[in-house]
Structure 1
Amino acid sequence: MGHAALLCIVFGLLGTCGMARVFGIRFRLAVLPGLGVSSLVVALFAFFTGAVLAPGRFAPWPAMLVGIVMLGLLALVFQRTSWAARVSARLLDPARREVTLARLRTSIERVVASPALTRQRSHDIIGVSSALIFIDQAGLAAAWLGKIDAVSLPNDLLLVAVNNEAVAWMMLGKLDSARAALRKIEHRAPSSEHDTLFATSALIRALEGDHKGALDEADALEARAKSARLDGAILEIRATAYAGLGDLTRAKEMLAGSRDDYRDTLLVAVVRKGGPAATLARQLLEAQGSPYR
């Protein structure tokens, strides 16, 4: 029985990981517990089937059949939960973008026209919103995110939703709407994750013209930051504020000194928001051979 249990565990683990790969689920730390539990569920159903049908021995074929059925059910779950990730990947692929966007619009606009979005569809919209903003479809992202009922969302999803909606409105030059989006989370208890929202708020402040206030907020964010995940946002705030104050040399140093792994993304974001540092960002993109279009 010991060998049978081990084989079932290996079967469940390999089957679950293979299924995850098929549906484009990346093996990140955040998803490993879920994959582990899923593989154990498959293994347990397979093992108990084999043990019950052949007491004292083990029935391998019925166990394998039940394991395959469980993997099939798991595939249905993976297909649904990985929908946003798969659609986002296709949106970021220029060769598949146009068709994917057309299908997405048909799918989403049918449900946003209804009085209330389902929770799953709300999650889907949040999941694809970053990709929409990245491919210069901020108008769609803002319109769809604005339809979501903020009260029904857990804190982590609400944070992503309101931040992405605010960023989308900034891309469209509508700073009042960006502020209104951030206010949707005011009634929730703050956490360390809210630093992302504070960074977005500081950037709105810089774009509104309160450059010194934005610099103070950037300094406060940097002082309490526990990781480098806000580095790009802080750089964007400072570059925008310095450019607004007329210190173009310092603003350019901020943008040019950003890390290689996110410099182009940062520069494009600055250009799209059209703030005082937009011209500098465009010049830097052209100088490095990747002009903004």
Structure 2
Amino acid sequence: MPIISISKLSKTYTSGFTALRDIELAIERGEIFALLGPNGAGKSTLINIVCGIVTASSGSVLVDGHDIVADYRAARRAIGLVPQELTTDAFETVLNTVSFSRGLFGMKPDAGHIERILRALSLWDKRDSRLMTLSGGMKRRVLIAKALSHEPRVLFLDEPTAGVDVELRQDMWRLVRDLRQQGVTVILTTHYIEEAEEMADRIGVIRRGEIILVEEKAALMHKLGRKRLTLHLQQPITAVPPELADYGLALSGEGSELVYTYDTRAERTGITGLLTGLAAAGIRFKDLHTEQSSLEDIFVGLVREERAQV
């Protein structure tokens, strides 16, 4: 059974704005799932519904087998949430606020667990500091520690590294890897696409309140990615031979380079045919190299597609 099962989930606000439309999504146990989408696509609304902060208009959500409405206490206990906003109790100490968060979920005190979390997030030396004295990056670490205080089986990270320093980002992703090894499921939204590319097992893309694709990261990049083959010619040419026009080749480097951009699904037949055609046309090359589109390139392409449809 998936750790999170979402069925026909929709949300329409009283203003008439529909933020989510019939979302169907299953998130597997122990995976890192990245939810990507442009601003206003519905990412935070979806997370807030699963976490019990926003009420859905229709549909159902199960978290570790518990319905978020009928059995909300058990469902909420299974979830840790790191929100976008820095909301902290300014006058409380780091240690007390993290320990208090654990107690809110009915968990018995566990000083050893709290210490491990604070040390993992480089907060142990700040444990007696009041939150008002901390920097923005340190306050973000406290939010993460609070989300982990009750040992959740699911951790939501809503833009967890937005506006924080490089050190925190590195600590954050080191912690995420450790949590996955412990069997915790991690769902994140991020504007740092390279983080999703490095960390995620699967990618989901939401656009205008609808899930438009869910794929394993490698499969997504193979399916939607593009490659570029650059051939460095032995002798410059002034134009692409007519017999090679179907390949959409581009000349660069004052005629010394031929650039072939192709879909990864057509990789073998495309390159084989191109090289055969070049030999037949008497064009020789001395070197070549390839580049593959990144997850960011794919995401930008999907966003552009959305804007073109509006």
TM over 0.5: no
TM-score (norm 2): 0.26
Richer in strand (by share): 2
TM-score (norm 1): 0.27
> Whose relative contact order is higher, 1 or 2, with alpha carbons under 8 Å and at least 6 apart?
2
Richer in helix (by share): 1
